[in-house]
Amino acid sequence: MKKDTLLEIILGTIGGLIFAIGMCMCLIPEWNLFKTGVVVTIVGFILLLCIIPVYRSSHPKKKHDPIHWGIVFAWIIGILGALVMGFGMSKIMHRDPSQTDMIIGMICGVVGLIVCVLDYPVYSYLNKKND
């Protein structure tokens, strides 16, 4: 393993942990550490940003291939499906959800899950179409 790769792994692990701890400090109201959590989150984010120059110095610039639109649309569909499913989960997991919130949450969750499951067939179809 190269020294730069090890540095990337260490920076990613430590930066990710510090970022996650800072987010927990911000989002858990019982801790009363919102301002401190913001500072810790920013420190973790800066550590994660330090990976960029290390990566660029150790990896040569590659020639760009043409854009694979199947991959682009698969990412977009996957992100949209995850957002819809997350919206449904948040409707259900809210403090005291009403019956309407539960129904809307379940419907959104199932629709988001179906969109995520159908992501691969859409990707396969778009790749066959381009070949």
pLDDT in tens, 22-32: 999 998 888 99
Q: Is residue 37 part of a domain?
A: yes
What pLDDT digit, counting tens, does each position of 62-87 carry?
787 888 888 889 999 999 999 999 99
Same domain, 122 and 74: yes
Same domain, 33 and 73: no
Same domain, 73 and 47: no
**pTM for the whole structure:** 0.57
Residue 4: which of 57, 79, 70, 50 has the closest Cα? 57
Going by pLDDT thresholds of 50, 70 and 90, the confidence category of residue 2 is confident
Same domain, 51 and 73: no
Rg (CA), the chain: 20
Is the pLDDT confidence value at 1 over 70? no
Q: Is residue 64 part of a domain?
A: no
- What amino acid occupies position 57? S
Same domain, 76 and 50: no
Is the pLDDT confidence value at 130 over 70? no
Q: Is residue 131 part of a domain?
A: no
